[in-house]
Amino acid sequence: MHETSIAMGLIESLNQMAEREKAKRVTKVNVRIGKLSGIVVDSFVFAFNALKGQFPKLKDTELCVEEVPIRYRCKSCGEEFEVESVFFPECPKCGSIDLEMLSGEELEVINAEIEV
């Protein structure tokens, strides 16, 4: 379950930030996770909540996850669209398979709120 190691990496980064900023605690962290990132969001949230208690400045941190859909742009006609599956996507407008992925692979921290 690689979600545990990813959650631990986030926690360690947040703890370092809290120390650097001399924060009393980290109150909230917002992350974006794409549907193609390979991360099971429920497992990631569970791991984060299970591990954060080991760090006093993070024990009450709220984790907010935004799931990012899989979006493509057709290189033939310019149509932008979302898909549920990555298996053989094609443009719903013209049927082309010449596509550019716009979103779905993200794993990024948007922001963190701290109390000083």
**Which residues are annotated binding-site positions?**
2, 74, 77, 91, 94
- Tell me the C-alpha distance between 47 and 45, whole Å: 5
3-class DSSP state of 46: helix
Count the Cβ atoms, other than its own, within 10 Å of residue 57: 19
Binding residues for Zn(2+): 74, 77, 91, 94
Of the candidates 63, 98, 58, the one whose C-alpha atom is nearest the C-alpha of residue 77 is 98
